[in-house]
Amino acid sequence: MRSEPAVSQPQQPGQYRFFLFTCRDPGSDFRLHLVEALRQHHETWYIWLKRRPLIAGPYPEDAPVEMSLPQFLMFIRRFRRDDKVNVYFNSTNTYFPTMSVLLRLIARAGVWCLDMHDDLRYHNVGLARLREEGIIRILRTCSHIVVHAAPTLAELFPRSHHLGNASHLRPLAHDAAADNAVLIMASFDERFDCDFVAGLAAQCPAMQFHLHGWTRPGDHETTERIRQLHEGHVNIHYHGPYSTEDLPAILGAYRISLAPYVAGSLLTRYIDPLRYYHCLNAGLELVSTAIPQAGYLRRWIHVVHDVNECAETLAAIQAAQLAKQPGYVPITWEQRANRLTSLLRTLPRSRRLLAKRPEQRPAQAVIARTEATKQAL
């Protein structure tokens, strides 16, 4: 682990310098792949906010640096105006409202972007839900632009811009996949339709349903329901949690995937499931219950409305009588990164900051300034 993070190098050509703040462990953070895509063209820092923030960047090979809170605040302050525009991408959900406001106050001038990748109120009700709504209002006030994932989120945030989710995966070989095996990847919670899966397993005894995923800590009810699914049906198999690194091996072992979300619920109205993109990019036939995002992607997803229709669809896919429409092109984080920078260029504040950039310094001057900054740290 380095003692200090490296300072950006002059060969990075992008107009923007990104700081992506996250509340998620990098081992399971889907926004890490957006960071990797941004780094292809822009100086990009990945910051895991916690009691002692962990900062990685700006290059992929740079080891993360753990800092105390005062060190971290000094680190953010050091990026003065130069030939790049700072972009602060807040993907911390509602976990760090005070820190978000503090960073907004002390960080150098730039563009603040709020990441509404879901309805961040989630399952909260009553006073807890009101608290989450208050935090979201504060975060919106601190932001110059809001981006959303599922198009339905525009109902909650009419002035936000669509960014959408994606996958880092590309088509995989499925030569060893069993014809009767069905993959179910999920975050097992209130959005997962256990009754649907139980009914489907009973109606399709020859098919084997393999569950990969985890339950929310403390959600004993869902944990118990998953246990009952596994123990009550000989053709349901639970394999436990997985990490991002496990995805190619998991997806390569199946040809068919099922996404049994609870339909007609506010809990699933605003989600843009990552597993949709993982499965489609990897080349699986994907069957989903009828949530809004499945409807947006119905050209490539088999949307079903009940257990009978799902059983018929799975049988037709298994018999090679049904397949998604041709022409699917993988939806990648590189595309999303390009979309994000295009949105920034249309933003009045971004245009003003770009216009105020100092002239590009010669490489020797930038190198000298970099070394001086590192010595000062």
DSSP of 274-321, one letter per residue?
HHHHHHHHHT-EEEEES-HHHHHTTTTEEEESSHHHHHHHHHHHHTTS
Q: Residue 306: pLDDT above 70?
A: yes
Distance CA 47, CA 35 (A): 10
Instruction: Give the end-to-end CA distance of the chain in Å, rounded to a whole number.
Output: 16
Q: What is the mean pLDDT of residues 142-149?
A: 97
Phi/psi region, residue 264 (left: phi>0; alpha: psi -120 to 50; beta: rest), is left
| Residue pair 265/119 in contact by the 8 Å Cβ criterion | no
**What residues have CB less than 8 Å from 311, skipping those under 6 apart?**
200, 203, 204
Q: What is the mean pLDDT of residues 239-249?
A: 93
Distance CA 340, CA 168 (A): 16
Burial class from Cβ neighbours inside 10 Å (0-12, 13-18, 19+) for residue 37 reads: buried
| Residue pair 121/133 in contact by the 8 Å Cβ criterion | yes
pLDDT tier at 9 (50, 70, 90 boundaries)? very low
Q: Classify residue 142 by its DSSP letter.
A: T
Among candidates 377, 189, 167, 108, which has minimal Cα distance to 286? 167
Q: Residue 262: pLDDT above 90?
A: yes
Better pLDDT: 122 or 168: 168
Among candidates 202, 140, 206, 151, which has minimal Cα distance to 179? 206
pLDDT tier at 291 (50, 70, 90 boundaries)? very high
Q: How high is the pLDDT of residue 376?
A: 40
Q: What is the mean pLDDT of residues 56-79?
A: 93
Q: Residue 70: pLDDT above 90?
A: yes
Catalogue all structural domains in the chain, each as residue range(s) with its CATH number: 16-165+333-376 (3.40.50.2000), 181-318 (3.40.50.2000)
| Residue pair 88/112 in contact by the 8 Å Cβ criterion | yes
Average pLDDT, the chain: 90
pLDDT tier at 369 (50, 70, 90 boundaries)? very low
Q: How high is the pLDDT of residue 10?
A: 39
Q: Classify residue 361 by its DSSP letter.
A: P
Amino acid identity of residue 273, one-letter, is: P
The helix (H) or strand (E) run that includes residue 77 is helix 69-77
From residue 346, alpha-carbon distances to 141, 145, 161, 343, 351 in Å are 19, 11, 11, 5, 7
Q: Classify residue 190 by its DSSP letter.
A: T
Q: Is the full-model pTM beyond 0.95?
A: no
| Residue pair 288/178 in contact by the 8 Å Cβ criterion | no
pLDDT tier at 275 (50, 70, 90 boundaries)? very high
From residue 275, alpha-carbon distances to 65, 280, 306 in Å are 31, 8, 20
Convert 345-369 to b/e letters by CB count within 10 Å (16 or more is b): eebeebeebbeeeeeeeeeeebeee
pLDDT tier at 359 (50, 70, 90 boundaries)? low
Q: What is the mean pLDDT of residues 230-257?
A: 95
Better pLDDT: 366 or 163: 163
* Cα angle 38-39-40, degrees, rounded to a multiple of 5: 90
Q: What is the mean pLDDT of residues 26-39?
A: 94
Q: How high is the pLDDT of residue 125?
A: 83
Distance CA 134, CA 85 (A): 29
